[in-house]
Structure 1
Amino acid sequence: MGKLEMEVEVKSSADKFWEAISDSATLFPKIFPEQYKSIEIVEGDGKSVGSIRLVKYAEGIPVITVSKEKIEVADAASKSTTYSVIDGDLANFYKNFKASLQIVPKGDGSLVKWSVEFEKASEEVPDPNLIQEFAVKTFNDLDAYLLKA
């Protein structure tokens, strides 16, 4: 099993950022059409444990067009969530892929902690650095959007 971790400082408050992340199924395709074609709730409400969502990525995103994710942890009190990829393009590259996100208040803004645990399907598969870069871009773009809203 491999693991990647990162932290991104944002200017938005932890409450505001968490609210936007919780509403990502509706919000992301609207504000990031160049990245997300759609996010469909397949099971549950899309926010709570056991919910399954189908993420369809825009044409410009390399390698990954679709990802089916199951929410494993959803804790509003600690502003943290964890989801596993259960189907889609990523499942061809990784036997296991579980991402965790936590938003921690920091001064007037917040710190977005993101990590992913993964098991490659084969040795040739690279670490998911592209996905990490995509996450950083999404958090920074979401912050910019929230600061304008």
Structure 2
Amino acid sequence: MGVITLENEFAVAVAPAKVFRAYCLEIDTLLPKILPEHIKSCEIIEGNGGPGTIRKITFVEGKELSYAKQKLEAIDEENLTYSFSLIEANVWKDAVEKVTYEHKFVPTPEGGSICRRTSTYYIKGDAAEINKDQINDVYGKKTAGLFKVIEAYFLANPDA
């Protein structure tokens, strides 16, 4: 089994506590609300929202990814850190065992935030069809887009 580790930063013009709340604590209700063209539903299927909780995200029909299951690994509201593992999805199912994402939200001098994310892909066998550039091109851009949608939501709804 191989391991691919990537580090990314995503800038958001919203305070870290708000982005953390949206991305980590309220994702079940917020994602379908702000991304209805992509997300059909987001639900907890096991647990109470703390570490060990399993969440299932169901995407609208016609997307490459139809569903994904995440396991919440750790959450620290005081230090604005959050980690989860993608434990099941219908893409790369024969090539990837799991992906673990560790997030840290830090303030910027302008009042916004930076999300620093480390992604660790646990590759089954030699799975040569997966490489760092492919992951960064596809999933790094999708995550950057997600943070821009969250940013737009809070800029349009500052009291949310």
TM-score, reference length from structure 2 = 0.84
Instruction: State the SS of the aligned residue for 1:136.
Output: helix
Q: Could you tell me which residue of structure 2 aligns to residue 20 of structure 1?
A: 22
Q: Identity of aligned pairs, percent?
A: 28
Residues 87 and 97 in structure 2, CA contact (< 8 A), matched pair in contact too: no
CA RMSD for the aligned pairs?
1.6
Partner deviation per Cα, 1:74-99 (whole Å, 9 max, x = no partner): 11111111111222224603123111
1:59–1:4: structure 2 CA closer, same or farther, 3 Å change rule? farther
Say whether 1:34 aligns with 2:37: yes
- Once the two structures are overlaid, the 10-residue window that deviates more, 69-78 or 111-120, is 111-120
Match runs of 1:22-101 below 5 Å: 22-46=25-49, 48-59=50-61, 61-62=63-64, 64-90=65-91, 92=93, 93-101=95-103
Runs of at least 5 residues in structure 1 that lack an aligned partner in the other structure: none
1:125 corresponds to = 130
Runs of 4+ in structure 1 over 4 Å off: none
CA 141–60 in structure 1, closer or farther in 2 if over 3 Å, else same: farther
| Mapped partners of 1:100, 1:57: distance in 2 | 23
Q: Secondary structure at the match of 1:2?
A: strand
Unaligned runs of 5+ in 2: none
Q: TM-score, normalised by structure 1?
A: 0.90
Count of aligned pairs between the two proteins: 147
